[in-house]
Amino acid sequence: MRNTFGKLCVILATLVLLFSVAFFTVSLILKDSDYIEEKYKELDVSTQMGMSVPDLSKVTGALLDYMRGERVNIKVDAKVNGEDLPDVFFHEKEIVHMAEVQTLWLGLETFAKIGAVVAAGVLLLGFLLIERGKKRAILSSGIFWGCGIFGGALGFLGVWAILDFQSFWTVFHFLIFPTSLFQYLSAGGTVQAMNELNWVLPNDSIMVSMLYPIFPSLVLRCALCVIIEIAVVVIAAIFIRFAFRRQGSRSPVADIVVIEHDENEPIPIKGPDLVLAHKLHNTPVSKRAEILRRAKNGEPLDDPQKPQTAVKEHLVGPFYPEKPEEEAKQAPDPASEQPSEAEEQA
């Protein structure tokens, strides 16, 4: 029961830690303005929208800063098709939707920070609950399961997005904005009800025209980084399971339960051979195989040609050593010092 609960703790902690790492990875990628500007140039978004690359980079930076809570609004000026616009995002839906995105992003950021700390504690709890001798195997197994569940979920979402992006995008937004789903269902689930949702932006939205071309590249880069992180965790789990396996493996002494005394009459031994265990513990690794061979064949464990040291010399003496025999003889007998009954009467 303890091992099962400990393994569940390891799986849960792995999932939360992977989510936290993935979130901060995406956050760092979105802060890479040079990469975003390079994609604008590569995809020629500037020509399609009639905006210069510096203006595109400035407007995108304003959106991302607002999403991270570093701006009070998304009001930003730029030149579009030769016309100076004091406010590029003039649609009310753009403003409302970005406010929802900011709330969601800040909530996920808080969860990622707190979750990472709590997950570390849960991982430690799981490690402590696992029984001694099984920690390495169960810990690595729990990490494998966590990576498998997290990676499987991402793989499923990726395949879904590739096969049917429209349905994926709709369900994804309904999950992260539950109010939109209630609003859509209460309005009868019609096409008009869908178009009235905050995140369904109009076709002439600058936000859609600007971000839609570079969106697949950003998602692909984020996915590759997260896959690499999962692979690193899996490698770490493999290392935990197999590193120092020889030191952590079962002692060969426990397997030797019979010493061949006679060819036809083996003598059973209850428990491990303590002498053999002592020899193995105090012998270099290079010579342990020879000692095990000697024990299996019933040969003396020590080399007969090597002078042996008396066992008594290795023992720690008593805390109150006995007195030498001469001192013991010279010491008066306490019983002889006491007067006899006749002497007391005299």
DSSP state string for 78-142: EEETTEEES-S---HHHHHHHHHHHHHHHHHHHHHHHHHHHHHHHHHHHHHHSPTTSHHHHHHHH
* pLDDT one-digit tens code per residue, 214-267: 999 999 999 999 999 999 999 998 988 887 555 444 544 444 444 455 555 555
Closest alpha carbon to 13 in 108, 133, 149: 149
Cα distances (Å, whole numbers) of residue 261 to 192, 252, 265, 346: 92, 19, 7, 73
Residue 124 has pLDDT above 50, yes or no: yes
Return the bridge partners of 80, or none: 83
**What are the backbone dihedrals phi and psi of residue 267, each rounded to the nearest 5 degrees, phi first?**
-100, 115
Question: Mind giving me the DSSP string for 1-56?
Answer: -HHHHHHHHHHHHHHHHHHHHHHHHHHHHHT-HHHHHHHHHHHTHHHHHT--HHHH
Query: Of all residues in the chain, what percent carry a pLDDT higher than 70?
Result: 78
Whether residue 59 contacts residue 71, with contact meaning beta carbons closer than 8 Å, is answered with no
CA–CA gap between residue 29 and residue 40 (Å, rounded): 15
Distant-in-sequence, close-in-space partners of 261: CB < 8 Å, separation ≥ 6: 267, 298
Which of 43-52, 118-127, 252-261 is the least confident region?
252-261
Residue 326 has pLDDT above 80, yes or no: no
* pLDDT of 305: 60
Closest alpha carbon to 254 in 267, 273, 268: 273
> Can you give the pTM of this predicted structure?
0.68
* pLDDT of 268: 53
- Over the chain, what is the mean pLDDT? 81
* pLDDT of 115: 94
Residue 285 has pLDDT above 60, yes or no: yes
CA–CA gap between residue 165 and residue 274 (Å, rounded): 68
Q: Where are the domains of the chain?
A: 2-162+206-247, 250-306
Higher pLDDT, 273 or 252: 273
Which tokens sit at 215? 């969106």
CA–CA gap between residue 176 and residue 155 (Å, rounded): 19
Task: Please report which confidence band the pLDDT of residue 290 belongs to, taking 50, 70 and 90 as the band edges.
Answer: confident
* pLDDT of 168: 92
Average pLDDT for 76-104 = 89
* pLDDT of 248: 44
* pLDDT of 154: 93
Which of 17-31, 191-205, 232-246 is the least confident region?
232-246
Residue 150 has pLDDT above 70, yes or no: yes
* pLDDT one-digit tens code per residue, 293-317: 877 777 777 666 665 555 444 444 5
* pLDDT of 119: 94
